[in-house]
């Protein structure tokens, strides 16, 4: 019997890794902002990036 959640559909899988260098201070700020938002650092960065793609009126 297989345990755990069912696999996500291919369209929802996260497969691309982006590496970025930060100073220790930038990393602390990023982690603190993610924590305040109640998100993982990865999810916080994904959402902030998505916001930057949107056209503002």
Q: What is the pLDDT, as a whole number, of residue 50?
A: 92
**Contact yes or no for 48/33 (Cβ under 8 A):** no
As to burial, measured by CB atoms within 10 angstroms (0-12 exposed, 13-18 middle, 19+ buried), residue 51 is: exposed
Q: What is the pLDDT, as a whole number, of residue 14?
A: 84
% of the chain residues with pLDDT over 90: 60
Q: What is the pLDDT, as a whole number, of residue 25?
A: 98
In the chain, domain spans? 21-57
| pLDDT digit string, tens, across residues 4-30 | 988 888 888 888 899 999 999 999 999
């Amino acid at each position: 019997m297989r345990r755990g959640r069912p696999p996500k559909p291919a369209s929802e899988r996260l497969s691309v890794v982006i590496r970025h260098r930060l100073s220790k201070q930038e990393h602390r700020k990023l982690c603190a902002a993610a924590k305040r938002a109640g998100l993982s650092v990865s999810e916080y960065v994904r959402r902030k990036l998505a916001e930057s793609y949107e056209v503002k009126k």
